[in-house]
Structure 1
Amino acid sequence: MGLEKLTPAAGSTRETKRLGRGQGSGQGKTAGKGHKGQRARKGYNEKRGFEGGQQPLQRRLPKVGFTSRVVKPYVINVDKITAIKELNEITVATIATVHKISSSVIKIKLIGAGAKDLASKIKDENVTVSGRA
């Protein structure tokens, strides 16, 4: 097993640009920084997204990319929808038979004065009653 010379592939690297080495180099005097101004000074460090005082793009656009994983329950007032009181057992499926709800509804919360009386009829963990039963 011979030791090969480890060198980069031909054309994969470049010579470093030698700045400020006289007018003949093409990068003399201002060393490619132009004339004066904040960016020509030593120690200059531009903040990420800085656009010269203009409102940066990431601040102009609305926030995106967050959706809460907490499922908020669909709330039903049993005093207004009295058909729920007459059900023998209360589940999401049985409530859907007497009250029009979307198929995307996963949890239901029953509110109102008569809601606590229905706690014994509930047979589904996705249906809850307001307050303490």
Structure 2
Amino acid sequence: MSYTTSTINELFRLRDKVGLSTASGFKARVRFVQLAYRHNLVREITSYHLWDRGFEGLGERTFDTCFEMGDSPEVIAELIRDARAHGYAGNIEMEVGNPDCFARWCGYADRQQELAF
């Protein structure tokens, strides 16, 4: 695993913000999933390993909330763009586990990019 204590601490600070339906909540959701995938922490979060290590609130429910606030296409688009820029798209593809689903996620980023022009 490629994470540090500072990464886990940042995830811990974001845990209460991901459920906010504000611009700062959106930014928190994006940052949370970026950190989780970039540092291969998705399973550590969703299996409650971090929670059990004292980071109460870092669990599956928090991770799922990042995709359940009505803006998941935008969150995913930001995640994929960041993953492409920083070289961790393979982490996402492996974790998602379904090539069609991963292609759909990439499509969100590609569509959002087209809208920018």
TM-score band by shorter chain is under 0.3
State the TM-score, normalizing by the size of structure 1.
0.23
TM-score (ref. length: structure 2): 0.25
**Structure with larger Rg:** 1
Query: Greater share of strand residues, 1 or 2?
Result: 1
